[in-house]
Amino acid sequence: MSTEAQRAEITIERNDEARRYELRLDGDLAGYAQFRTNPQRITFTHTVVLPEYGGKGLGSRLAKHVLDDAVERGDTIVPVCPFIGHFLKEHPEYEASVDWP
């Protein structure tokens, strides 16, 4: 992660109304991971890091957070989003919670 991103305050919150996790850098929306839910399943459909925030490792930080949260909630993860799918393939520790489409 870049030094700039390390100094900034990074928050990630689940926004159920918008059906997405929102990553904010110093309060500004920097990215999000959209999802839809069914009982005990969460399907990640799209992940975005806004262009001006790219290259700072924020996408990976967002992916780790949303996956950790899904596991903690006991949800089965369905990775429709290519970014989340790629992250999962590089992090096999999540495999027990994944239902590949």
pLDDT tens readout for residues 44-80: 999 999 999 999 999 999 999 999 999 999 999 999 9
In this model, does residue 12 exceed pLDDT 80? yes
Q: Is 2 helix (H, G, I), strand (E, B) or coil?
A: coil
What pTM did the predictor assign?
0.91
Rounded CA gap, 36 and 50, in Å? 21
Model confidence band, residue 8 (pLDDT cutoffs 50, 70, 90): confident
Beta bridge partners of 37: 42
Domains for the chain: give ranges and CATH numbers: 3-97 (3.40.630.30)
Averaged confidence pLDDT in the chain: 94
